[in-house]
Amino acid sequence: MFCAVVMTLTIFCNEVVDPFTNEYPIKSPVTQEGYQIVLATTDLGVGENRFAFIVLSDKGFVNGADSMVTFYAPAKYPYESKTTAQFMYWDDLNRGSFVANAILPYPGEWNFKVDFVDNKKDISIKGGFTVNKKTIAPYKGDKVPTEKNKTLDDVVSFQQLSTGNIIDLELYRHSISEAIKSGKPTVITFSSPALCRDETCGPQVKVLQKLSARTNLSINFIHVEIYDNPIELQNDSKAGLYSEAFEKWNLPSFQWTFIINCIGEISHRYQGFVSSEELDEPLRFYITEKGIKNHCLAI
């Protein structure tokens, strides 16, 4: 029998021994009206990027209509672009994030401006971010690292697999390598549910559970706990040892989700929380006749 432990830790991720030196998440200056951008996507590279952020006010999270984002390239490049950031509610939470598809053709220090309407007032917020020549974490088209992740076969109790309290054994039944060999698309989430406390974190394992039930085994879903010793963390918040899979994927922050096509290549990457609404469209492609024909074995 697999047992779960409901953890009541009140620590933040960065209170566990942390090798990351980059600021995460990135926060803009607070405007005179009390608004601030919290940028969830900080691992940005030259090319196409998911650009996701939340908006805070002195009253909490700002939810509502879409916003407009203007991107300003480093000064030596005469480039400016504007795009819509769609607002997407987070599953079962009265909050959400704004998500845009951004083409960032040059490396260096970029600036952005977000314009939206809140309480019938026009609001503008400015901030900055870095674009690297290449991303730190795996990028679209990259082959998936297949280092061993713990599964049900490797443990004697469920609490060795996750710091969270959602017991869905299907999320821990297969290794990444086994999932790739299955000929099905795969969704992999790296997270530590009980230890994720920054503003961009959300109930990602719950999203996997919901989508897994909806797709009826036509897609593999895997949760990888970022810590190798979740039981020890209950008693010592600084005892965290990163799992081998988390380290080998070279992830520069604590919550990531990847969609993998049926030949083991990354097709979509999501830093920070990603809602089931945002995941739904790319996953529906893989279970259509077109997706099966072009990317997957017949299921």
Say yes or no to pLDDT of 189 above 90: yes
Range with the lowest mean pLDDT among 7-11, 60-64, 157-161?
7-11
Average pLDDT over residues 79-108: 96
Q: Give the span between the Cα atoms of 1 and 23, in whole angstroms.
A: 41
CB 87 within 8 Å of CB 65: yes
Instruction: Write the single-letter amino acid at 5.
Output: V
pLDDT > 70 fraction of the chain, expressed in percent and rounded: 88
Measure the N-to-C terminal CA separation of the chain; round to a whole number of Å.
31
In tens, the pLDDT along 205-225 reads: 999 999 998 887 789 999 999
Residues 41-57 have a mean pLDDT of 97
pLDDT of residue 297: 52
Residue 1 pLDDT more than 80? no
pLDDT tens digits, one per residue of 4-24: 332 323 233 333 334 444 689
Number of H helices, E strands in the chain: 6, 14
- pLDDT confidence of 3, banded at 50, 70, 90? very low
- How far, rounded to the nearest angstrom, does the alpha carbon of residue 238 sit from its chain's CA centroid? 24
Would strands 186-191 and 220-225 be described as parallel, antiparallel, or unpaired?
parallel
Residue ranges and CATH numbers for the domains of the chain are 22-132 (2.60.40.2480), 140-295 (3.40.30.10)
Q: Model pTM? A: 0.89
What pLDDT was estimated at residue 295? Answer: 54
Under 8 Å between Cβ of 174 and 185: no
Please tell me which residue, 284 or 113, carries the higher pLDDT value: 113
The whole-number average pLDDT for the span 60-85 is 94
Type of residue at 92: D
Report the alpha-carbon distance of residue 194 to residue 240 in Å, rounded: 12
